[in-house]
A and B are shown apart, each in its own frame.
Chain A
Amino acid sequence: MAKKQTDVRISLQTLKVLEIFLENPTQQFAGAEVHQRSGIASGTLYPILLRLEAAGWFVSQWESIDPSVAGRPRRRLYRLTASGLRRASEVFGGFSRGVLA
């Protein structure tokens, strides 16, 4: 099993994504919702989501719906992990102290 790399390059777009998840850390978001809230283009957004997931900051799972009943395909939902919440808080805390964590 590959070793997880927990350090993620924190770009402005990554901060925007993290900010959305930090507003409600228990909530799950699909990529389309993150796009709507942040305005980040899909070409930038999905690599960020995958990087954060690979680094263990996010976990993702399929939406638990029946597509035939819901009338739409199931979406992939992302959620902050406990370590992701801690690391993201450290990053934003670093800004308030004037130093990037």
Chain B
Amino acid sequence: MSRQSPRFTKWDAISQWLIRRAARRVPECLATRLEEEWLADAESRASGASRLRLAVGCWWAIIVIVNDRPRFPAPQTAVAGGGWSAVTDRGFGYYSLRSGTLFLILGLHAVLFGGLFTPLSHTHGSVAPSISSGHVLRSVMGETR
């Protein structure tokens, strides 16, 4: 959707901005191609919401593409060079994107459950009789005598 078009909305501006930002995360030789390709594909979408969905998807696509680089060489249309190593040699190639997502989800669950149970345990602790006060011990000692 070109800016001159009367149908150009602020959502289209956001979509274009997202696509441009996403494409810049790969080396320039491929970034230029992906930006043009994705903007053209966004143009062919019917609604602004659809274009926004495509733009958000492009961010996920970039993560996958960058993660794929160690396993797959750059396409012939994108000149393979030092650019890729700058992006992809991040020292955690052992972990796949899927594993990273799994660990992220597990971590978020741990934080969520930790956040839920910590206040509960504090409440429980204040309601329960304190052993240090000696009431329980004294009553038990009294019964045994």
A interface, CB within 8 angstroms of B = 1-5, 30-32, 35, 41-47, 50-51, 53-55, 59-60, 72-76
Contact = CB atoms under 8 A, between A and B. Distances in A.
Given A41-B57, A50-B68, A30 B73 contact: no
Contacts of B41: 30-32, 35, 42, 75
B68 A73 contact: no
Interface of B: 33-34, 36-41, 43-45, 53-54, 56-61, 64-65, 68, 71-77, 80
Nearest to A40: B57
Given A1-B80, A53-B75, A54-B73, A43 B60 contact: yes
Contacts of A46: 34, 38, 57-58, 61, 65
Contacts, number: 89
Contacts of B76: 53, 59
A39 to B, nearest CB: 12
B65 A47 contact: yes
Contacts of B75: 50, 53-54, 60
User: Which of A30, A32, A55, A59 has the most C-beta atoms of chain B within 10 angstroms of its own C-beta?
Assistant: A32
Contact of A43 (B43, B57, B71): B57
A5 B71 contact: yes
B60 to A, nearest CB: 3
Given A31-B38, A75-B37, 19 more contacts: A2-B74, A2-B80, A4-B73, A5-B73, A32-B40, A41-B60, A42-B57, A42-B61, A44-B61, A44-B64, A46-B34, A46-B58, A47-B61, A47-B68, A50-B65, A73-B36, A73-B40, A75-B40, A76-B36
